[in-house]
Amino acid sequence: MTSGLRQGLTNYGDEGFSLFLRKAFIKGAGYTDEALDRKIVGIIDTGSGFNPCHGNMPSLIEAVKRGIMLQGALPIVFPTISIHEAFSHPTSMYLRNLMSMDTEEMLRAQPMDAVVLIGGCDKTVPAQLMGAISADIPAIQLVVGPMVTGSHRGVRVGACTDCRGYWAKYRADVIDLEEISAVGNELVPGVGTCGVMGTASTMACITEAMGLMPLGGASAPANGSARLRIAELSGKLAATKVMRPSSVLQKKNFENAITVLQALGGSTNAIVHLLAIAGRVPGLNLTLDDFDRIGKETPMLTDLKPSGTQYMEDFNKAGGVPTLLRYLRPRLHMDALTITGMTLGEALDRHPSSFSQTLIHPLNQPIFKSGALAVLRGNLAPNGCIIKQSSSAPHLLRHRGKAVVFSGSVDLQKRIDSEDLDVDENSVLVLQNIGPRGNPGMPEAGYIPIPKKLARRGVKDMLRISDGRMSGTAAGAIVLHVSPEASEGGLLAVVQDGDLIEVDVEKRTIELVVSRDELNKRSNVWKETVRPEVVKQRAGRGYRKLYETSVLQAHQGVDFDFLVAEKV
């Protein structure tokens, strides 16, 4: 018997009895000895009535099963939790580490020789990779695939960049309630992940670049036959070739992922996720500096929303990640291993060749010269913060302005649209206390809306700073992930209305222009008066307690401290 049901037989201290029991119980589900006496490939089902992005899960599972059985192995499907962006209170990020723990422990607990991880919606792929790397069993990532676009009054629309665009128009009184309701019927025209280069598609593409998914696996739409063929192939590979993450992942896999992330102008969330995923690999050190270093040398090559104009279905038709990898070849480690044991270069050589198209640009015709995602440092963010400069208004990339400060999401909601708010287009909007620990889950509130009175005057972008995140489908001159966060005593906590803030993206700096003496004074007051209150409000029980006591800062990937692998 190949390992199959024999994996991890320790529960009764008597291996023979444990195997006997396992067999007896699973026979209750109608299996024969012949079915059981073979390699077992697990399939993780993350379908849920609350996760419309994963609505094609049943057909994908069927196709994966077919692939596994074609190779003579036995597929066994099992669930883990499922996380959807819009149905995860307080945020999906809050639950990412929980899903990674669920994935890791179920992979350890149940007998299987390999696993097909099926994820898609934003946090599910990083959670699955984190769990599978920690469990270190042979694993391959399959995604549900992006949704296709809808159409509103003859204009193509897709979640969720256009959700934001239309909402901004509604806020600025450009469109009325009837029209915003009508567009709501078209933004999500079917199952699958958001149709732009948001977090879900960014994570899918960089997982492909990292070698943990077959080439071409990221971009095929959720509702097409190609998606099912990728699912079948994933099952086949899992039953035959797939290796343990520890045998595949080296720093060069992550460097390839970052190169692709920068060339895509991908989601800012991917930075946090990649740091967390790398954190699970023993001995591997990845830092924000790696993102900035690689970004400086990597032009943005793809015209995709939210930075550009096109949708995921167009990216797929243009050849998807393999085409991008071909253009990026001189900047990638072609000797990096992929999950099937081939190097990235070998896999690319075997993949159908690319053709002429206009969405993915060659290296000598970049869309944005370099560093779509840049890392800034300064007194306001000694451990770093990030900005997606490819989606910012260029005049704001070097900017000095007076702070307009909001103490948290509730304060923001209360005052942002007030006619009395002392703000103009040169102001710097600062939002405090939405970091990993301060507002558990680090909400995507970093996309601070333009104050209504300015939006009505046609102001489209302003410099905005917070310790939170923003959706991968959002755009603007938005500084995020300030570390340390306000509620951990970062200087962000003591910014006051009217303080001057200077950001220079080319120089990679962010400064609060206030004297050191004054800042020390404010910090001392904060420690004595605010800090005790912040600590008092923390939860006393449950997952939230675990989260609040263990979560790391943004520059460390927002993983739990006890889940990170040993670093040499």
- Interface positions with Mg ion (CB under 5 A): 85, 122, 198-199, 471-472
Task: Please report which helix (H) or strand (E) contains residue 237, including its range.
Answer: helix 225-240
CA nearest neighbour of 112 among 26, 179, 172, 226: 26
CB of 427 to ligand FES, least distance (A): 31
With residue 208 as reference, give the H or E element that holds it: helix 199-210
Of 199 and 439, the one with the shorter C-beta distance to Mg ion is: 199
**Distance in Å, CB of 451 to ligand FES, minimum:** 27
Closer residue to ligand FES (CB): 204 or 325:
204
- Nearest Cα neighbor of 255 from 280, 306, 289 is 289
Give the residue with the Cβ less far from Mg ion, 146 or 198.
Answer: 198
Cα separation, 273 vs 558, in Å, equals: 8
- The option from Mg ion, ligand FES, none interacting with 53 (CB < 5 to 8 A, set by class) reads ligand FES
d(CA 118, CA 315): 21
Q: Shortest approach of ligand FES to residue 149 CB, angstroms?
A: 14
DSSP, collapsed to helix, strand or coil, labels residue 190 as coil
193: partner contacted, choices Mg ion, ligand FES, none (Cβ within 5-8 A by kind): ligand FES
Q: Which is nearer to ligand FES, 270 or 416 (CB)?
A: 270
Question: Residue 57 CB, nearest distance to ligand FES (Å)?
Answer: 13
Out of ligand FES, Mg ion, none, which partner does residue 242 contact, by CB within 5 to 8 A per kind?
A: none
Nearest distance in Å: CB 304, ligand FES: 14
Question: Considering CB distances under 5 to 8 angstroms, the limit depending on partner class, which of ligand FES, Mg ion, none binds residue 471?
Answer: Mg ion
- Residue 121, binding choice from ligand FES, Mg ion, none, Cβ under 5 to 8 Å by partner class: ligand FES
Closer to Mg ion by Cβ: residue 138 or 468: 468
What CA–CA distance (Å, rounded) separates 437 from 447? 18
Q: Which residues bind ligand FES (CB under 6 A)?
A: 53, 84-86, 121-122, 159-160, 193-194, 198, 200
* Contact (CB, 8 A) for 489 and 496: no
The least CB distance from residue 187 to ligand FES, in Å, is: 11
- Cα distance between residue 295 and residue 561, in whole Å: 27
3-class DSSP state of 223: coil
Task: At 369, give phi and psi (nearest 5°).
Answer: -55, -55
Q: Which is nearer to Mg ion, 43 or 272 (CB)?
A: 272
Nearer to Mg ion, 102 or 122 (CB): 122
**Cβ(53)–Cβ(37) under 8 Å?**
no
Q: How far is the CB of 472 from ligand FES (least distance, A)?
A: 8
If you write DSSP's letter for every residue of 55-91 in order, what string do you get? TTHHHHHHHHHHHHHHTT-EEEEEE-----GGG-SS-
**How is the chain split among helix, strand and coil, in percent rounded to 5?**
40, 15, 45
The C-alpha atoms of residue 543 and residue 561 are separated, in whole angstroms, by: 14
Smaller CB distance to ligand FES: residue 161 or 483?
161
CA distance 429 to 416: 10
**Quick one: 271 or 416, whose CB is closer to ligand FES?**
271
Q: State how far Cα 262 lies from the chain centre.
A: 14
| Smallest distance from ligand FES to CB 159, Å | 6
Q: What is the largest CA-CA distance in the chain?
A: 77
Binding at 273: pick from ligand FES, Mg ion, none (beta carbon under 5-8 Å per type)? none
| Minimum CB distance to Mg ion, residue 275 (Å) | 17
Distance CA 331, CA 259 (A): 8
> CA torsion, points 74, 192, 477, 263, in degrees to nearest 10?
60
- Judged by DSSP in three states, 439 sits in coil
In the complex, least distance from residue 442 CB atom to ligand FES, rounded to whole angstroms: 17
Whole-angstrom distance, CA of residue 127 vs CA of residue 119: 9
Least CB distance to Mg ion at residue 194 (A): 6
Q: Which is nearer to ligand FES, 121 or 505 (CB)?
A: 121
Residue 84 binding result from Mg ion, ligand FES, none, given CB thresholds of 5 to 8 Å by partner type: ligand FES
User: CB–CB of 150/76 below 8 Å?
Assistant: no
Closest by CA to 406, choosing from 376, 378, 439, is 439
User: Which is nearer to Mg ion, 306 or 308 (by Cβ)?
Assistant: 306
